[in-house]
Amino acid sequence: MAIERELKFKVAGFDEVRSALDGARAVLDNAGELQTDVYYDTADSRLLMAGAGLRLRMIEPLTGELPARWLLTYKDKAMDEALKARREIQSSVGDGPAVGQIIEMLGFRRCFEVQKRRWSYVLGRCRVELDELPVIGHFVEIEGPDGQTITNVRDILHLTSEPISDHYLALIQNCLGSDCHQALFDNSR
């Protein structure tokens, strides 16, 4: 089981971050994706209450004609809130809708659906994700092997604000209300 370590920052837009990535010779890993995430939980919100999550993600390229890909991910409770380190199990799946039906047949329910546009870069030993979400805006996530490596990339990108420890679902619900269960773009691409 892998440990995901990341820091997330709210930004006004991506121009300055992209400029810093270019200056640091980061490698663009994808030319943009639309990710549609469906989160599942028990009727009594057992996963949410434990700080865990079960997600089925459809990934569609923003350009080109490549088919969608699907990922199933389980994330455990954060072990370190400051760095947001948590265990993660992830696997590609061939038929996302069928996997979603299986999850529901096992007693889980769809509890939230969210989209984001994501551009991914590799800088040294870190992965830098530029995420745009409906309602809440633009974010930069830096994922890496340890806190020092992540902090070094944070400095290269001139990200001086405090990291955000909340996940996107909490940020959206803080903005729209706890009864919100969906945040999608009007025009998906």
Q: What pLDDT score does 65 carry?
A: 77
Band of the pLDDT at 188, cuts 50, 70, 90?
low
| 188 phi, psi to nearest 5 deg | -55, -25
Q: How far apart are the C-alpha atoms of 41 and 104, rounded to whole Å?
A: 9
Which residue's structure tokens are 């920052």? 9
Q: Which two tokens stand for residue 4?
A: 């995901």
Domain boundaries, the chain: 2-183
CB 130 within 8 A of CB 17: yes
Give Cα separations from 41 to 52, 54, 55, 78 (angstroms). 9, 7, 9, 17
Q: Which two tokens stand for residue 130?
A: 């530029």
Burial of 141 (0-12, 13-18, 19+ CB in 10 A): buried
Band of the pLDDT at 69, cuts 50, 70, 90?
very high
Query: What are the E-state strand segments in 104-180?
Result: 109-123, 126-133, 137-143
Residue pLDDT, tens place only, 14-33: 999 999 999 999 999 988 99
Q: What pLDDT score does 79 carry?
A: 78
Q: What pLDDT score does 121 carry?
A: 98
pTM: 0.91
Pairing of strands 137-143, 126-133: antiparallel
The amino acid that residue 104 corresponds to is E
The amino acid that residue 10 corresponds to is K
Residue pLDDT, tens place only, 82-139: 677 889 999 999 999 999 999 999 999 999 999 999 999 999 999 999 999 999 999 9
What architecture is domain 2-183?
Beta Barrel (2.40)
